[in-house]
Structures are given as structure tokens and as C-alpha cells.
Amino acid sequence: MKLTMLGTGNAPVTECYNTCFVISDDARHLLVDGGGGNTVLAQLKRAGIDWKDLREIFVTHKHIDHLLGIVWLMRMICQNMRRGTYEGEATIYAHDEVIKILRDMAQTLLAAKDAAFIDDRLHLVVVEDGEHVELIGHDVTFFDIASTKAKQFGFHMDLGDDRSLCCCGDEPYNEREEPYAAGSTWLLHEAFCLHEQADIFHPYEKHHSTVKDACELAERLGVENLVLYHTEDRNIARRRELYTAEGSRYYHGNLLVPDDLDVIEL
């Protein structure tokens, strides 16, 4: 299995793409979020992942830097279903608010002949807090992260062989996530900026974490591998070096600060 980071940045970045990624198990792919536009198509192409091979998509929440790329994929999938160049069916999973927005946008923005494939071959499925679903052959549990900004779900994936992956979305860890995050093999957590630059980027005003915060959390939860994403981009050239240097003071597991298109073996 592998994790391909299509984007690693927060909402207003221009030096990288918004945070979204693909979890792959052989030829099966789960796309998580789509970033803020059709750059998701370019990132998939650069990563060597054919968007026509996507059958399962999960959207964490309604913010435009996560949602709008999904609208582009809906357009491409429906168009190619109509043309006979997309085989089979596809499913987008999200909580009720996101599904309603995607359904409304599809009906408003897509051509009627393409929107006709919604609920026929492109399924929009509402998931609930604590619900289990099998995705790319693995048990996945969705959970509400108790966001104070917009309703948002994370997920826990059973990787097999007593290994697990937990995605906490793009907001700081909440104690209600402990059953899913504690002791996880892989923890995906946002880190808006360096702790020493909090006075510059004001992460707490935006309800985000610093590198120090995320690393202290992973240390406390006994996480084996920590992946930091959803960052600022002013330090992009030295982001990995700077974030790793700060984070390693607080976390003694395997700390990863990926760039866009990096591939991580799970």
C-alpha cells in the first residue's frame, strides 16, 4: 500500500497545491479531498494515477480548498460515463452537508445529460459518525472531528497485520478522536506552521496547530509514523528541513513532512 500526496498546503497556498491525497492498494485507489480546483487532475496525472481508475472518493468537509476539485472530478466522471469511456460505477462518501452541496452543485453546474448519471452510476453516499465502510478492500470508520468551524469527518483505516492509518482532517486533534488515533501506525495531522512562527501565521486564530503541537500529540498517543500536511507555503523551499528540526524535539517516532507528489509506502 502507498500514500500519494497530491497536495500538502493550506487554503491560500500558491507554491504548492491544497491538501489532498490518494491511498492505493495495488490498482485500487481512494481519493481523499480534491483541493480547490482542476489542478487535482494535473496532480493525479503527474502522480501516474489515471483519474478514470478512481472508484472511491471521500470528502472531509465543505471548505473550498477541499471541495472544488471534487466538482471537477464529478464533471469528468459523468462526461466520460456518457461517452462510454469510464467503466463501471463510482462513489463519493461524505457527511450530509457535503453531499447536499455536491448534489446541488452538480444539478446547477453540470450539463443535464451529465448530471443524469448522479445516483445512477455516480453515487453520493452520506456517512454517519462511527459508520464502517469497506473501501479499497479495507475497513474504514468515519468519525466527526467536532470542528468548531464547519462539520468535518476524519477516518480510521485498518491496513491489516495490526496496522492502521488515522486521518484527523485539517483541524487540531480532539479528545473524542482518541479511540481512532491512539497507537495508530500512521497519523495524518495538520501543522499550519512552525511553533516559532505562530506570531506570524496565527494558527490558533484559524483553529489550526503548529508543528510542535502536532508532534507533542503524536508522542502522547504513541503513534509510530506522523505525516504533517496542510501547511503554509512561505517556507516551502526549506519546509521539510525546518519542520523536521522543530518536530523532532517533541516526537521520537518517524516524522514525515512530504512535498506535493511524494509517495509514502504504508
Question: Can you give the residue ranges of every domain in the chain?
Answer: 2-265
pLDDT band for 191, please (50, 70, 90 cuts): very high
Neighbours of 50 (CB within 10 A): 10
Map residue 33 onto helix, strand or coil: coil
Cα torsion 132, 58, 80, 115: sign = positive
Residues 153-169 pLDDT 10s: 999 999 999 999 999 99
Residue 90 contacts residue 57 (beta carbons within 8 Å): yes
| pLDDT exceeds 90 at position 148 | no
For the sheet with 132-135, list strands across it: 132-135, 138-144, 153-160, 163-167, 186-190, 225-229, 254-256
User: Among candidates 124, 123, 133, which has minimal Cα distance to 155?
Assistant: 133
Residues 95-142 pLDDT 10s: 999 999 999 999 999 999 999 999 999 999 999 999 999 999 999 999
Cα torsion 247, 149, 21, 13: sign = negative
Calpha distance 69→90 (Å, rounded):
16
φ, ψ for residue 41, nearest 5 deg: -70, -40
Q: Is the overall model pTM greater than 0.85, yes or no?
A: yes
φ, ψ for residue 15, nearest 5 deg: -95, -5
* pLDDT > 70 in the chain, percent: 100
Calpha distance 205→85 (Å, rounded):
46
pLDDT of residue 199: 98
Buried/exposed 114-135: b ≥16 CB within 10 Å, e otherwise: bbebbeebbebeebeeebebeb
Neighbours of 97 (CB within 10 A): 14
Residue 7 contacts residue 250 (beta carbons within 8 Å): no
Please give the mean pLDDT across all residues of the chain: 98
Strand pairing category for 90-94 and 122-126: parallel
Q: Which three cell numbers stand for residue 190?
A: 495538520
Q: Which CATH architecture has domain 2-265?
A: 4-Layer Sandwich (3.60)
Calpha distance 125→93 (Å, rounded):
5
